[in-house]
Amino acid sequence: MGFNENQTATIHGSEPVVSVAKPELINGSHAVIQSLIAEGVKTIFGYPGGAIMPVYDAIYDYQDQINHILVRHEQGAAHAAEGFARISGEVGVCLVTSGPGATNLVTGIADAIIDSTPMVCIIGQVASHLLGTDAFQETDVMGITIPITKWNYQITTPDEIPEIIAKAFYIAKSGRPGPVLIDITKDAQQKLMTKPFVHKKTETLLSYHPRIAPKDEQLAAAAKLINQAKRPFLFVGHGVQIAGAEQELLQFIEKTDVPAASTLLGLSSMPVDHPNYVGWLGMHGNYGTNVLTNQCDLIIAVGMRFDDRVTGDLNRYAKQAKVVHIEIDPAEIDKIVKADAPVVGDAKKALEMLLPLVNENNHEAWRAEFRKYDAIEDQKITQPELAPTTEKIKMAEVIRTLSDKTKGEAVIVADVGQHQMMAARYYQFKKPSSYITSGGLGTMGYALPASFGAKVGAPDREVVAIIGDGCFQMTIQELGTIAQSGLPVKIIILNNNFLGMVRQWQQLFHQKRYSFVELQNPDFITIAKGFGIDGHTCAKREDLHASLDKMLASDKPYLLEVLVEKEENVFPMVPTGACVADIRLE
């Protein structure tokens, strides 16, 4: 038999659960919540179900200490936790049930591992005596999530709970952050602990020792290369924001006068109007940054992993350059690009320690070369995008107008596709932690849930989700979560009735054979209104300013649909497998 929910039943028909409780002992579910509170968790994104119901029962008693946001699908919980974590630097927490609840989280967990996002997922599991019996809503979530978690662990007794949760938070947040999954059997949630509850934060583990301060000899070797370089080029990765190294980065850049470019996830680590900022790298990055990657004599890569979207063809990537690679994860060193001077450590600590070792320098002439390419890009791409002569609105002008109106200070949560690249290109980021997007996994449907997660993490900042019409329909149900929680997220749908990026590739590489990329879309505004969210559609250029003003003036969630040009392409572009220097402008 199983056991019923009234806390007086027995497990396996014999072992008393609560009836012989010593008054000071709590059950596993309360231990879960008290551990979360002890770890400083204030918000949980979750969805209840059978195998996690005891924990939900416990949450009922802690509503004054823990804010639970009920999502509409577990994938939404994962992305919301990611959005929260990315903006706050804290660990995002998801709480879901076994089986489908757990498998629905998988996309978000995979997204979090590749984008190094700290997350703790607490998952209910069938009772331990049912494990391996194909019980109702049982799935081997441990097996499923091994390749996509930084760590996972199955708890079968309540006494393990405080220690494992402490360990989970430490692992998720320290070193290179990532998602941790804890699977808790239902009996472990229901049974009483055999000893009084004590939660002690973990600060060290036997087998896991992330290196924060790099070794002196590594720093010395890096400084030597930096001081010798004539054409150094600094790449700003996501690790800068994870480490909170924005100030150290600026000090380093200003002392050495190196030009600096950002990866997609590194965007907003430094202000775009900084004289040393030369743009972003990669497939849809800037013209000069890509071409000059193959002309610099030194790459200083900080907290980035040489993703294939950044490097293009590796056989023709920066062969002339030496490489200093500052990275907290030793497995990233030499993984893609061989480092001449690896520096294993936290970006903040590494830059801080490197600063006194590097010489003051002047690279004005070298930096000026980027501006030559900028001028070409500006003339061929940026200006036609921002001041179009076409009738239909272009994505770029929506983004740039939004950027101007929000003074570059909003948090932009972009989904995946052309609008993501346009947001990266045309929003002029002034503040750190302002661009949140699914970089590594490229998860469509990410932005809507991530945006309300971000709003929870930064309630005082304007959060604007930029979403394509395809992406929006992947997690459209999270409008319900936004409406219920009252989080004043602003949502812009750039609607071109296409899966735009796929269509672009089909146009460029598949002879315009537009295979299943045109969408018959619903009336998004009516849908939003059905959820109780106000919104309107902007179809004409002359209405764009007023539409954005109206959206920004609202103190409630708001949906703005902008009907944009149907067949628009994102350029520049480094086609897959091409060399970065062969970046296409058309």
Partner 1 sequence: MTSYTICVFTENSIGILNKITTIFTRRRINIESLTVSETERKGISRFTIVIRSESREAVEKLVRQIRKIIEVLAVFGYLNEDIAYNEIALFKVSTPIGAKPLDIETINKVYKAWVVYWHLTYVIIQKTGTEEEIFEFFDYIKPHEILEFVRSGRVAVSKSPQTLVDYLPEAEWEYYQ
User: Which residues have a catalytic role annotated?
Assistant: 74, 136-137, 186, 501
Q: How far is the CB of 405 from partner 1 (least distance, A)?
A: 44
Q: How far is the CB of 154 from partner 1 (least distance, A)?
A: 7
How many C-beta neighbours within 10 Å does residue 264 have? 27
State which of residues 43, 97, 98, 154 lies at the interface with partner 1 (CB under 8 A).
154
**CB closer to partner 1 out of 204 and 362:** 204
d(C-alpha 583, C-alpha 287), whole Å = 7
**CB closer to partner 1 out of 171 and 399:** 171
d(C-alpha 469, C-alpha 499), whole Å = 8
State which of residues 146, 198, 213, 585 lies at the interface with partner 1 (CB under 8 A).
146
d(C-alpha 459, C-alpha 466), whole Å = 18
- Alpha carbon distance, N-terminus to C-terminus of the chain: 67
Stretch touching partner 1 by CB under 8 A, among 35-43, 144-152, 242-250, 490-498? 144-152
Stretch touching partner 1 by CB under 8 A, among 96-104, 283-291, 333-341, 388-396? 333-341
Q: How far is the CB of 106 from partner 1 (least distance, A)?
A: 15
**CB closer to partner 1 out of 84 and 151:** 151
As separate numbers, helices (DSSP H) first and strands (DSSP E) second, the chain gives 23, 20
State which of residues 6, 19, 24, 147 lies at the interface with partner 1 (CB under 8 A).
147
Q: Name the nearest CA neighbour of 52 among 26, 74, 76, 80.
A: 74
**CB closer to partner 1 out of 21 and 205:** 205
Assigned token pair, 51: 């195998």
State which of residues 53, 130, 135, 142 lies at the interface with partner 1 (CB under 8 A).
142
Binding residues for partner 1 restricted to 63-122, rule: CB under 8 A: none
Number of chain residues interacting with partner 1 (CB under 8 A)? 20
Stretch touching partner 1 by CB under 8 A, among 11-19, 87-95, 218-226, 332-340? 332-340
Stretch touching partner 1 by CB under 8 A, among 143-151, 294-302, 445-453, 496-504? 143-151
Instruction: Supply the DSSP symbol for 466.
Output: E
279 sits in which H/E element: strand 277-280
**CB closer to partner 1 out of 151 and 558:** 151
Q: How far is the CB of 140 from partner 1 (least distance, A)?
A: 10
Assigned token pair, 7: 């806390």
Q: How far is the CB of 332 from partner 1 (least distance, A)?
A: 9
**CB closer to partner 1 out of 144 and 563:** 144
Binding residues for partner 1 restricted to 312-331, rule: CB under 8 A: 329-331
**CB closer to partner 1 out of 301 and 333:** 333
Amino acid letter at 340? D
d(C-alpha 221, C-alpha 217), whole Å = 6
Q: Does 514 bind partner 1 (CB under 8 A)?
A: no
Binding residues for partner 1 restricted to 160-179, rule: CB under 8 A: 171
Stretch touching partner 1 by CB under 8 A, among 41-49, 141-149, 397-405, 413-421? 141-149
State which of residues 3, 56, 151, 287 lies at the interface with partner 1 (CB under 8 A).
151
Q: Say which residues have a Cβ less than 8 Å from residue 213's Cβ, sequence separation at least 6.
A: 345, 346, 349, 353
Q: Say which residues have a Cβ less than 8 Å from residue 494's Cβ, sequence separation at least 6.
A: 395, 398, 418, 419, 422, 466, 467, 468, 469, 562, 564
d(C-alpha 198, C-alpha 38), whole Å = 10
Q: How far is the CB of 26 from partner 1 (least distance, A)?
A: 26
Amino acid letter at 550? K
Q: How far is the CB of 538 from partner 1 (least distance, A)?
A: 45
Stretch touching partner 1 by CB under 8 A, among 20-28, 40-48, 64-72, 150-158? 150-158
| DSSP letters for 8-50 | -SEETTTEESSTT--TT--BHHHHHHHHHHHTT--EEEE---G
Binding residues for partner 1 restricted to 264-323, rule: CB under 8 A: none
Length of the chain (residues): 586
- Give the rounded distance of the alpha carbon of 547 from its chain centre: 28
State which of residues 79, 86, 150, 325 lies at the interface with partner 1 (CB under 8 A).
150
Stretch touching partner 1 by CB under 8 A, among 115-123, 146-154, 383-391, 558-566? 146-154
Going from the C-alpha of 49 to that of each of 74, 87, 126, 140, the distances in angstroms are: 11, 29, 11, 17
Q: How far is the CB of 224 from partner 1 (least distance, A)?
A: 24
Assigned token pair, 302: 């900080």
**CB closer to partner 1 out of 141 and 491:** 141
Q: Name the nearest CA neighbour of 514 among 525, 494, 500.
A: 500
Q: Would you say 281 and 216 are in contact if contact means Cβ atoms under 8 Å apart? A: no
**CB closer to partner 1 out of 331 and 365:** 331
Binding residues for partner 1 restricted to 183-212, rule: CB under 8 A: 205-209
Q: How far is the CB of 329 from partner 1 (least distance, A)?
A: 7
| Helix extents (H) in 174-215 | 186-190
**CB closer to partner 1 out of 181 and 517:** 181
Q: Name beta bridge partners: 67.
A: 43
Q: Say which residues have a Cβ less than 8 Å from residue 252's Cβ, sequence separation at least 6.
A: 234, 258, 351, 354, 355, 358
Binding residues for partner 1 restricted to 334-353, rule: CB under 8 A: 334-335
Q: Say which residues have a Cβ less than 8 Å from residue 63's Cβ, sequence separation at least 6.
A: none
What is the contact surface with partner 1 in residues (CB under 8 A)?
A: 142-143, 146-147, 150-152, 154, 171, 205-209, 329-331, 333-335
